[in-house]
């Protein structure tokens, strides 16, 4: 079977796509955390782990859906616990 995701066909969805570049030992920044703050005083947390369960994976960039809110700031916590 082949499944097609057509959820974006009808309506233009808003999203933020972040591509992280780590150091030479971890070039894809696996284990980094992204903390997104929005104008509604909410906090959304995402972690960079491209593997989700048995035989599944995701894209290398972190894809953050923004449907219903607008991001006003982003905090990145790198795998060595430094942040920016």
Higher pLDDT, residue 54 or 20: 20
Higher pLDDT, residue 79 or 57: 79
Q: What is the pTM of this model?
A: 0.74
pLDDT score at 82: 94
Per the prediction, the chain carries an average pLDDT of: 85
Nearest of 52, 48, 50, 51 to residue 76 by alpha carbon: 48
Highest mean pLDDT of the ranges 11-25, 27-41, 47-61? 27-41
Mean predicted confidence (pLDDT) in 31-37: 94
Nearest of 44, 29, 41, 18 to residue 77 by alpha carbon: 29
Maximum Cα–Cα distance across the chain = 44
Residue 5, pLDDT above cutoff 90: no
Nearest of 51, 56, 17 to residue 34 by alpha carbon: 17
């Amino acid at each position: 079977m082949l499944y097609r995701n057509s959820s974006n066909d009808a309506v233009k969805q808003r999203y933020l796509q972040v591509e992280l570049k780590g150091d030479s030992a971890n070039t894809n920044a696996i284990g980094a955390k992204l903390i997104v703050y929005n104008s509604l005083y909410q906090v959304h947390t995402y972690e960079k782990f491209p593997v989700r369960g048995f035989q599944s994976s995701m894209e290398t960039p972190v894809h953050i859906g923004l449907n219903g809110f607008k991001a006003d700031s982003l905090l990145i916590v790198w795998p060595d616990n430094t942040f920016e």
